[in-house]
Amino acid sequence: MAIKQSISRSDFKLIEGANFRREHGALFSVSFGVLPSKNSSVTKAACVVSKKTAARATDRNLIKRRCREAARECLREVKLPLALIFYAKRAAHSASYAAVKEDIELLIKKVSGARK
């Protein structure tokens, strides 16, 4: 994912106080809303994988890489300035890339439909 599409640490702190909505899929949950910062003209995304989801760091990194790549491909179609935070579920650990991409596409469609 390009730097301009990733959510910075300071943006995460701003998001904590904001009222973001949440949608659920089979492999991921997504928290979404508008960034309260001034330079939020582009859609940004991040992927969070907890130790409870995948105990080993290599497994967490694999899930994050798959999530970021699927989100990068799907975010080209979104024209709204949103912040999307994907939270992995335990089922994402054993899922293939195709399943991850399908779930993220579905979540992004739900989010863009909810924001219009």
Tell me the backbone φ, ψ of residue 6, rounded to 5 degrees: -90, 155
DSSP assignment letter at 1: -
pLDDT of res. 42: 79
Q: What is the pTM of this model?
A: 0.86
Q: Domain range for residue 52?
A: 3-115
CA–chain centroid gap for 47, Å, is 5
Render pLDDT for 89-111 as a digit per residue (tens, 0 to 9). 999 999 999 999 999 999 999 98
Closest listed residue to residue 84, CA positions, set 6, 18, 31 = 31
Contact 29, 22 (CB under 8 A): yes
pLDDT of res. 114: 63
pLDDT of res. 40: 65
CATH number for the domain including 60? 3.30.230.10
pLDDT band at 66; cut points 50, 70, 90: very high
Which token pair is 31?
A: 């928290």
Render pLDDT for 5-46 as a digit per residue (tens, 0 to 9). 778 777 777 777 677 888 999 999 998 888 766 666 778 889
Query: Exposed, middle or buried by CB within 10 Å (0-12, 13-18, 19+), for 28?
Result: buried
Q: Domains in the chain: how many in total?
A: 1
Residue 70 in 3-state DSSP? helix
